[in-house]
Structure 1
Amino acid sequence: MSSSGTVTKLLGHIDSYYAASANSAPQYPALDQEIEADVCIIGAGYTGLSSALHLAERGYKVVVLEAERLAWGASGRNGGHVGVGQRKGQEDLEKMLGLDTAKALWDLGLEAVQLVEDLVDRHQIQCDLKRGIMHLAAKRSHSAWLKEEAELLQGRYGYDQIRYAEQDEIRTLVGSDRFYGGQVDSGSLHLHPLNFALGIAEAAAKAGVQFFEHSRVTSYSGGSPCTVNTSKGRVRAANVILACNGYLGGLEPRLAGKIMPINNFVLATEPLPDALAQELIANDYALQDTLFVINYWKLSSDNRLVFGGGENYTSRFPQDIRAFVRKYMLRIYPQLADTRIDYGWGGTLAITLNRMPCVGRLEPNVFYSQGYSGHGVPTATFAGKLLAEVVAGTEERFDILAQIPTPSFPGGTLLRWPGLVAGMLYYSLKDKLGG
């Protein structure tokens, strides 16, 4: 039981609002024998779960190994935003990769959001799926590029579900005077991230996937077949998918230097009166601002404000996460000063140097996808579908992501931390300055 008197409903998960409001889910055994499979997936977040489901639907025998519980990591702890596009804006992608590739990535991003909605509908996943995200200008100078981006998406990309809203309208929609305008995007979604992941897992299990929890992979080797080892068992498989993301650790040194694990933090308030909830978010969209260390928030199905703010770059979480995040929330909503905070939790995600997903193959039968940089709900779920396609021999769509350059952090895993911290502190300082 937490200090607020709340109960963590889903055993083995951290104490969060999501765990306390999770749908029921079975516990799976640890691997304690040697088994065979067509595909062994390491990691049971969105990437691994979606890969497993799509592969099983194609008739493959799939085994998933998870070090903790299914969706224990970032997939069960995040803000639940399901945004269109990529983590990088379209104008940046055009400059980096050219117009044709940027348009192909835009189309994949739209399909990723649609895939989430289709999975929820097809498998009747109860995950509080709602429509709409607003992107809010935290500085006056940010309003211009949000407006330009909305016009770019409307014109060049034919995306008519986004519009720019001026400051007065945003104040009415958001209940805060902190913002200078924003994008209103009715094509994006938001949801309960843990229940979405558990729903995919349930569908995958029904399709024949074998899950093993508390089965941390200690080593693996490629070859024919590949061998994947845990402390008490082994999987021999024709293919391996690495779906570890921020929890990769030292399992695969060839990939570790391409991502940086960072920690992000979230709180959930007590249930709010209807009038106050309506004041905070009039249209029940999910919200995010334009700061480098972004704030993001939404209302839960029981009128709690679920608010993410602040991050750190160490191996430790703040001692009092609720207080750590609360100060960010009160900068936007000072009217919540007397509101009780029922939950506070953190999670580890992986960012890449260029903020684009790191996707590819290490050997002919060893595949990976990681580094979603805060855009993981749609991107990781869709990556799972693409991984299933490439295992089945269809490479075209997988290669669109795989061909994006994924530079390693300078200094690799040894020196990436001090470099990242210096860079993050610089941009955090810029967040605090006016403009």
Structure 2
Amino acid sequence: MGNVLSSIQGTYQTICVAAKALLALNANFQEVLARASRDPGLPARNPTSSYWLDDPPFPHLVDARSEEFPEHADVAIIGSGITAAAVARSLLLEAVRRDDALPRVVVLEARQLASGATGRNGGHIKPASYADYALLKQKFGPDRAAAIVRFQRQHLTRLPELCRAEHIDLAECRDVETIDLFLDTPSFDKYSKEVEELRNLIPEAIHTISDRKEAQEKFHAGEHVVGAISYRAGALWPYRFVASIWRSLLSQFPTALSIETTTPVQSISSASEDSDPYPFHLHTPRGTLRARQVVHATNAFAGHLVPGLRAKMTGLRAHMSAQRPGAAFPSDARGERSWSIMYGAGFDYMTQRPSSSSPQNSLLSGDLMLGGGFFRSPKQGLDQMGVWDDSQTDALTATHLNGILPAVFGAQNWGADAPEGRLVKMWSGTICFTADAVPFVGKLDPRLTGRAAPSSSKQKQQPGPEPGEWIAAGYHGDGMIYAWLCGTAVGLMLAGSEEEDVPERPGQPGGRVAEWLPRELRVTYERVRKISIADLAGELE
């Protein structure tokens, strides 16, 4: 009887512990839902210092602004990162192609140029097609998941071809072989099966599977690595890429384009009369800008000015670091290799900058750019969701990033730390998840913005689409394989070319927008109405 009672007592205690854990998890998730439903506000005024923003190549652009604040614009773009640059570029170049009058474009940035996610991310042009496909097919089915993956993969060619055409050498844009190193067998087995399925749907997405022995020998991995999947990806210096695009556009269109940094948009109101040619009034500390079209290129912060997107998308605090490789690390001088470290529900991602021993190329440091550790925070990532504050880093996440590389590659492949120390810099940034795992792209329904669209015949007589508010945001942490072409699509829509067979140009596909932008990305009212950020619970398993 004593043994039975002891067994019952032990089982009861186990159940109590499990129940307590479930209740705590539920409470934590309820806190996430509450945070995700709030106004994200404006970006923090004192963000952590990002490696990518150091030594800007065009110092005059960092705090660019007009001497006199503009009074009106044909198109106001809120945000100055990769999305905003893509919108402005495609819109202005398309106006030239169509021989239309150049639209007056004003870019409004809350902080310094491209100092948000673009200036803080990993610079990894990496469609992890097998992993993305596994998630997307659950939501949209195999065929549509494959279409979205193909859209992601276009960035592998569009961004490098644009860098070559514009001679943006300082962006260090390059093709890389990327290796996903797995630390647990269940994840490796699961994704190996997804690779096999993907081969039938997207044969051009070539993946090579390596077992434990081959992974450790071929990729100089440590004993904890149980397998690897390798494939093609890309990398660049994101801030320098975007700054170069802005510099080129300002040179080409000096009277049509202006950038107004440290000019946060605090609110937007509608004009009192439908006949107003600039029906949207954007209120900033420097004055009010009247605009015909408004583009929300603010990613995680879009909900600040578009209340209908709250609880439909949310910000997450993510972490990045720059680290010096160990003495024995298998560095590639051209920076043509990248990695991900896969473990359960979590992963880390890393590129390596090109390196040079020449004093003339001292900026080519070969630093390792490592990000991730999302689930290492005190509440396994839940305390980083619904957080838009990039002025701080999480201690446990930072500790994880600062220590994982020698453990994964092993002492024999890492060696002694650099004399200056391993860590160069650690910072945070805000990424954005939508409730259904794909971005919001296109014209916003007034029911989401809370602002009525003008309806007078005078408005319809103007060239291009009727006035409205537009968005390209919510990249699910994959901005480098979504943002450029999502922004490009919005630019073409604003130019009135959405239904036209537009010629291909560097950085832009040819044809009609609908031929290359997956329909699942369209931000319809019905789509937004049906989803909730609570749907993300399944992705945290």
Check conservation: 2:302, 2:473, Cα contact below 8 A. Answer: no
Q: Give the aligned residue type for 1:383.
A: C
Q: Does 1:296 align with 2:359?
A: no
TM-score by length of 2: 0.67
Q: Does 1:332 align with 2:408?
A: yes
Which deviations, in whole Å up to 9, do the C-alpha atoms of 1:256-311 show, x marking residues without a partner?
Answer: 322111111122223654x52439x9984211133433211121222222211323
Equivalent of residue 205 in structure 1, options 245, 250, 260: 250
**3-state DSSP of counterpart to 2:493:** helix
Post-superposition offset of 1:152: 2.7
Equivalent of residue 212 in structure 2, options 167, 170, 173: 167
Which residue matches 1:402? 522
Counterparts of 1:403 and 1:214 in 2: how far apart (Å)?
29
**3-state DSSP of counterpart to 1:276:** coil
Extract unaligned runs of 5+ from structure 1.
1-11, 428-435
Check conservation: 2:81, 2:115, Cα contact below 8 A. Answer: yes
Q: Give the aligned residue type for 2:392.
A: F
Which residue matches 2:442? 360
Q: Does 1:215 align with 2:263?
A: yes
Which residue matches 1:46? 82
Post-superposition offset of 1:367: 0.8
TM-score by length of 1: 0.82
Which residue matches 2:282? 228
Which residue matches 2:29? none
Post-superposition offset of 1:19: 2.3
Which residue matches 2:145? 102
Q: Give the aligned residue type for 1:179.
A: V
Q: 1:55 to 1:288 in 2, by over 3 A?
A: same
RMSD, aligned α-carbons: 3.1
Check conservation: 2:319, 2:426, Cα contact below 8 A. Answer: yes
Q: 1:68 to 1:283 in 2, by over 3 A?
A: closer
**3-state DSSP of counterpart to 1:68:** coil
Counterparts of 1:87 and 1:347 in 2: how far apart (Å)?
26
Q: 1:98 to 1:237 in 2, by over 3 A?
A: same
**Paired residue total:** 405
Q: 1:67 to 1:81 in 2, by over 3 A?
A: same
Post-superposition offset of 1:43: 0.6
Which residue matches 2:203? 158
Counterparts of 1:256 and 1:31 in 2: how far apart (Å)?
35
For 1:103-142, what aligned pairs fall within 5 Å after superposition?
A: 103-125=146-168, 126-131=170-175, 132-142=177-187
Q: 1:18 to 1:399 in 2, by over 3 A?
A: closer
For 1:142-153, what aligned pairs fall within 5 Å after superposition?
A: 142-153=187-198
Extract unaligned runs of 5+ from structure 2.
1-45, 96-102, 272-276, 355-364, 375-383, 446-465, 499-512
Equivalent of residue 51 in structure 2, options 17, 28, 31: 17
For 1:210-289, what aligned pairs fall within 5 Å after superposition?
A: 210-221=258-269, 224-225=277-278, 226-248=280-302, 250-270=304-324, 273=327, 275-278=328-331, 284-289=336-341
Which deviations, in whole Å up to 9, do the C-alpha atoms of 1:300-348 show, x marking residues without a partner?
Answer: 2222222113233454623667545213444424535745112111111
Check conservation: 1:138, 1:179, Cα contact below 8 A. Answer: yes
Larger Rg: 2
Q: 1:123 to 1:90 in 2, by over 3 A?
A: same
**3-state DSSP of counterpart to 2:171:** coil
Q: 1:403 to 1:252 in 2, by over 3 A?
A: closer
Q: Does 1:84 align with 2:127?
A: yes
Check conservation: 1:31, 1:233, Cα contact below 8 A. Answer: no
**3-state DSSP of counterpart to 2:346:** coil
Post-superposition offset of 1:372: 0.7
Counterparts of 1:218 and 1:87 in 2: how far apart (Å)?
41
Which deviations, in whole Å up to 9, do the C-alpha atoms of 1:339-364 show, x marking residues without a partner?
Answer: 51121111111112232212232246
Q: Does 1:178 align with 2:209?
A: no
